[in-house]
Amino acid sequence: MLKMFKTVLLVFIAVSLSMGMLGCNKSAEEEAAAVPEPAAEKMVMAMVTNQSGLGDQSFNDAAWEGLGQAEEKYGIERKVLESREQAQYVPNLSTLAEQGASLVIGVGFMIKDAVAETAEMYPDTYFGMVDG
């Protein structure tokens, strides 16, 4: 009796798996009718340099390199705005937020207050600091 039960159970499992696998095959018509999903929008990660700008061989270059690695590994889009004077910090941070950056990073301790001020104006954008 137990042997017959095991045999029936094995046959039932085999038939169930076979039926399930048959349901996975799509016909050519079903494949053609399938609508492709729209490509996911790229995440934009951006940074605003301090007055040293890119080429400083310090925090600005390191942050830009890190965004480059994220671009290669995760497919993000990276942007940078270089500030030549402190008066450009808030406008540059705001510009990147308005352009739809998901994350805006301020580089350098002198940009700290500008990042805090701009973050309050754009609550849907993430802001971060390097050396702040």
In a domain, 118, yes or no: yes
In a domain, 26, yes or no: no
In a domain, 106, yes or no: yes
The CATH number of the domain holding residue 49 is: 3.40.50.2300
pLDDT in tens, 59-95: 899 989 998 999 999 999 999 999 999 999 999 999 9
For residue 72, the one-letter residue type is E
In a domain, 65, yes or no: yes
CA of 48: how far to CAs of 3, 6, 16, 29, in Å?
A: 73, 69, 59, 51
In a domain, 27, yes or no: no
- What is the number of structural domains in the chain? 1
Give the confidence band of 7 by pLDDT, cuts at 50, 70, 90: low
| Residue span of the structural domain in which 59 resides | 44-130
Please state whether the predicted TM-score (pTM) of the whole model is above 0.75: no
In a domain, 104, yes or no: yes
The pLDDT value recorded for residue 113 is 95
In a domain, 63, yes or no: yes
In a domain, 101, yes or no: yes
pLDDT in tens, 32-61: 555 555 556 788 999 999 988 898 888 899
